[in-house]
C-alpha cells in the first residue's frame, strides 16, 4: 500500500488514513477469472486469450488458495491459453488464438468452449469475435466474452460470461414455458469457497418444495443441456443481493421470463422456510406439498438444535457476544441475518468487499437497516484490507473478544483482538472444502458446528 498517506493525531490513538488508489490484500480478482464460471458448468472448457501466467494466477488465487477446491474437468491446468507475448502486442494475436482454438478442438472433449480475453488482446484490439465466429459457422459449440481486467472484477466477468453463453449459444426462443421450472442465479462459483455445497442445498430444498431446478453450475447441474433449457423455464430466481440481476433482466427482455429477486441467501430454518414460501407463492405451485416438506425439514432441524442447546446453555459464558463479518455481500448479509435472528449475537461491524456497482448499494444498505424487527445496523463498503482492519480495531466489541467471519487476511487481526476467526470467503487458505456448504437447513447445522468448534478451540 505504497501510496497510502498516514497522519497521526494525539487525541486519537489510531492513525488517520487518507485513502489512495492502492489496495492492500485484495479480495477479488480480475474479470478473466470468470473462466471459473465457465469451468463450473459440467462439460464446459474455457480458452483464455491473455498474457502468460494470467490463467494460472486466477486458478491459484480463486480455486487453490481458497479452500483448495481443485480445477475440475475443465479448469485449473486444463485451461488452454495463447500466452500472448510482445509479438502479439505488436502484430496482433488473432492468428495465435485461431491456432489455439483449432488445437484445443483436436485434443479436448467439451460440450462447449468459452473464449475469454485478457488485457493484452482487449487493448490491442484483437477481433476475437470474428475468429470465434469462424468456428461457430462450422458448427463448433464455442462462444466468447471480452473480459480484460480493466473491464471490472470477476463478479462483472461472471455476468459477461453468462450473457455470452445465453446470446451466442442458447440463442432465441419463443416457445412455451414450463410451469414449476426455475433457473437459479446465486453464488459466484469458486470465488465463494462453499459454492458447490451451497448450490446443492439450494437445489435440494427447491426441489423438495416441488420445483424443477436448473441450478446451472456445479456437480448437480446437468451442464449444457440445462443451459439449453433456460428459455423454457417459468421464471428466474436471483438469490443474492445483486449478482445475477443483470442476467435476469436480460432474460426477461430476451425471453419474456419474469424473475424473483430475493437478496438474502437463507441460512437456518427461519430464513429458509420464509424463502421457500416466497418462491412457492411466486411460482404458483402446490402450497400443501411445499408446507409438508418445510414441516419435515424444520422438525429435523430443531431436533438437532435441541441437542445443541445443552452445549449452548451451559457454555454461554465462553461464547462471543458480538461479531464482525468481512466479505462479499451475499455471504455477509446471509451470515448477519442468521447470527442476529437465530443465535442472538450482536452485530459489531459488517464490511462488504467485492465493490458492488453503485446502483445496488442503497438497496443493500436497506437490508442491514432491517436485519431484525428490533435490530438495525450499518454496513461499510471497502476493498482495502489495511482500512478494513483499522475499522475493526476501532470497533467497540464490549468486554468479550469478538468472533470474526472473514478470510485468511483476518487471521492475524483475530489473534490481535484475542478473538476467534471463521474463514468464510476468498481467500480461505486454512480451509479444505470438498462439499461443505453453509446455507439452507443442513448448511446451517454445519455452520453451527464450525462456529462453536472454532470458539471452543480459541478459548482452550
Q: What is the per-residue pLDDT across 314-330, written as a single tens digit (0 to 9) for each?
A: 876 677 889 999 999 99
Calpha distance 240→329 (Å, rounded): 8
Mean pLDDT of 139-167: 95
Contact yes or no for 212/178 (Cβ under 8 A): yes
pLDDT surpasses 70 at 450: yes
pLDDT band for 3, please (50, 70, 90 cuts).
very low
pLDDT for position 386: 95
Q: Please give the grid coordinates belonging to residue 74.
A: 475443465
pLDDT band for 399, please (50, 70, 90 cuts).
confident
Task: Tell me how far CA of residue 270 lies from CA of 133, 248, 267, 338, 436, in angstroms.
Answer: 49, 26, 8, 9, 21
Tens of pLDDT along 259-299?
A: 999 999 999 999 999 999 999 999 999 999 999 999 999 99
Calpha distance 49→122 (Å, rounded): 9
* Residue located via cell numbers 480463486: 62
Q: State CA 360 to chain mean position distance.
A: 16
Calpha distance 265→397 (Å, rounded): 26
The pTM is what? 0.92
Task: Tell me how far CA of residue 94 lies from CA of 21, 79, 129, in angstroms.
Answer: 33, 18, 10
pLDDT surpasses 70 at 8: no
pLDDT band for 130, please (50, 70, 90 cuts).
very high
Q: State CA 219 to chain mean position distance.
A: 16
pLDDT band for 376, please (50, 70, 90 cuts).
very high
pLDDT for position 313: 84
Q: State CA 70 to chain mean position distance.
A: 16
Q: Please give the grid coordinates belonging to residue 83.
A: 500466452
Mind listing the domains of the chain with CATH numbers? Answer: 31-170 (3.40.50.1980), 178-289 (3.40.50.1980), 315-459 (3.40.50.1980)
pLDDT surpasses 90 at 88: no
For β-strands 420-423 and 178-185, DSSP reports them as unpaired
Mean pLDDT taken over the chain? 92
Calpha distance 338→331 (Å, rounded): 10
Q: Is 30 exposed, middle or buried (0-12, 13-18, 19+ CB in 10 A)?
A: buried
pLDDT for position 1: 36
Contact yes or no for 436/422 (Cβ under 8 A): no
Mean pLDDT of 123-138: 94
Contact yes or no for 17/139 (Cβ under 8 A): no
If one counts every other C-beta atom within 10 angstroms of the C-beta of residue 136, the result is 15
pLDDT for position 52: 87
Out of 23-37, 215-229, 282-296, pick the least confident.
23-37
Closest listed residue to residue 88, CA positions, set 117, 115, 51, 114: 51
Contact yes or no for 245/238 (Cβ under 8 A): yes
Q: What percent of the chain has pLDDT over 70?
A: 95
If one counts every other C-beta atom within 10 angstroms of the C-beta of residue 302, the result is 14
Mean pLDDT of 69-86: 90
Contact yes or no for 241/330 (Cβ under 8 A): yes
Calpha distance 386→393 (Å, rounded): 11
In this structure, what are the phi and psi dihedrals at residue 389, rounded to the nearest 5 degrees? -70, -35
- Among 1-10, 215-224, 338-347, 371-380, the range with the most confident prediction by mean pLDDT is 215-224
Contact yes or no for 335/267 (Cβ under 8 A): yes
Tens of pLDDT along 232-242?
A: 999 999 999 99
Given its phi and psi angles, is residue 67 left (phi above 0), alpha (psi -120 to 50 degrees) or beta?
A: left
pLDDT for position 13: 42
Q: Please give the grid coordinates belonging to residue 305.
A: 438444535
pLDDT for position 345: 92
pLDDT surpasses 70 at 9: no
In this structure, what are the phi and psi dihedrals at residue 16, rounded to the nearest 5 degrees? -95, 120
pLDDT for position 421: 96
pLDDT band for 441, please (50, 70, 90 cuts).
very high
If one counts every other C-beta atom within 10 angstroms of the C-beta of residue 219, the result is 13
pLDDT for position 357: 95
Helix (H, G, I), strand (E, B) or coil at 7: strand
pLDDT for position 460: 60
Mean pLDDT of 363-371: 96
Helices (H), 92-127: 94-107, 119-124
Helix (H, G, I), strand (E, B) or coil at 6: strand
pLDDT for position 75: 92
Mean pLDDT of 358-381: 94
CA dihedral 255, 252, 158, 191 (to 10 degrees): -120
Task: Tell me how far CA of residue 397 lies from CA of 166, 318, 400, 404, in angstroms.
Answer: 47, 15, 7, 11
Calpha distance 226→244 (Å, rounded): 17
Amino acid at each position: 500500500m505504497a501510496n497510502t498517506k498516514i497522519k497521526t493525531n494525539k487525541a486519537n490513538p489510531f492513525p488517520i488514513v487518507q485513502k489512495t488508489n492502492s489496495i492492500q490484500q485484495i479480495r477479488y480478482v480480475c474479470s478473466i477469472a470468470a473462466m471459473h464460471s465457465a469451468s463450473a458448468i459440467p462439460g464446459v472448457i474455457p480458452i483464455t486469450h491473455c498474457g502468460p501466467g494470467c490463467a494460472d494466477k486466477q486458478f491459484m488465487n480463486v480455486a487453490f488458495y481458497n479452500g483448495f477446491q481443485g480445477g475440475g474437468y475443465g479448469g485449473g491446468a486444463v485451461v488452454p491459453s495463447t500466452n500472448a507475448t510482445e509479438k502479439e502486442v505488436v502484430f496482433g494475436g488473432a492468428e495465435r488464438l485461431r491456432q489455439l482454438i483449432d488445437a484445443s478442438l483436436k485434443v479436448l472433449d467439451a460440450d462447449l468452449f468459452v473464449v475469454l480475453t485478457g488485457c493484452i488482446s482487449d487493448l490491442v484490439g484483437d477481433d476475437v469475435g470474428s475468429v470465434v465466429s469462424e468456428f461457430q459457422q462450422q458448427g463448433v459449440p464455442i462462444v466468447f466474452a471480452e473480459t480484460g481486467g480493466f473491464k471490472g472484477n470477476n463478479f462483472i466477468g461472471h455476468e459477461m460470461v453468462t450473457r455470452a453463453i445465453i446470446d451466442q449459444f442458447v440463442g432465441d426462443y419463443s416457445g412455451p414455458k414450463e410451469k414449476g421450472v426455475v433457473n437459479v442465479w446465486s453464488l459466484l462459483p469458486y470465488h465463494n469457497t462453499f459454492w458447490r455445497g451451497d448450490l446443492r442445498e439450494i437445489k435440494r430444498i427447491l426441489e423438495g418444495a416441488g420445483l424443477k431446478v436448473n441450478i446451472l453450475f456445479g456437480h448437480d447441474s446437468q451442464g449444457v443441456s440445462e443451459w439449453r433449457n433456460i428459455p423454457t423455464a417459468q421464471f428466474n430466481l436471483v438469490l443474492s443481493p445483486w449478482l445475477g440481476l443483470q442476467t435476469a433482466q436480460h432474460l426477461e427482455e430476451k425471453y419474456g421470463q419474469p424473475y424473483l429477486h430475493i437478496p438474502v441467501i437463507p441460512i437456518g430454518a427461519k430464513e429458509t422456510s420464509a424463502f421457500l414460501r416466497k418462491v412457492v407463492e411466486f411460482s404458483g405451485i402446490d402450497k400443501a406439498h411445499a408446507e409438508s416438506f418445510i414441516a419435515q425439514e424444520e422438525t429435523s432441524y430443531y431436533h438437532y438444535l435441541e441437542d445443541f442447546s445443552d452445549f449452548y446453555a451451559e457454555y454461554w459464558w465462553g461464547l462471543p457476544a458480538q461479531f464482525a463479518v468481512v466479505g462479499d455481500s451475499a455471504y455477509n448479509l446471509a451470515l448477519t441475518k442468521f447470527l442476529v435472528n437465530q443465535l442472538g449475537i450482536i452485530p459489531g461491524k459488517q464490511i462488504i468487499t467485492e465493490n458492488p456497482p453503485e446502483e445496488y448499494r442503497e438497496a443493500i444498505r436497506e437490508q442491514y437497516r432491517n436485519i431484525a424487527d428490533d435490530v438495525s445496523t450499518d454496513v461499510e463498503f471497502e476493498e482495502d484490507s489495511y482500512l478494513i482492519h483499522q475499522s475493526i480495531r476501532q470497533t467497540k466489541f464490549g468486554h468479550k473478544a469478538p468472533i470474526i467471519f472473514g478470510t485468511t487476511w483476518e487471521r492475524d487481526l483475530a489473534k490481535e483482538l484475542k478473538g476467534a476467526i471463521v474463514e468464510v470467503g476468498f481467500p480461505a487458505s486454512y480451509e479444505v472444502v470438498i462439499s461443505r456448504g453453509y446455507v439452507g437447513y443442513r448448511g446451517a447445522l454445519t455452520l453451527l458446528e464450525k462456529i462453536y468448534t472454532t470458539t471452543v478451540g480459541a478459548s482452550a
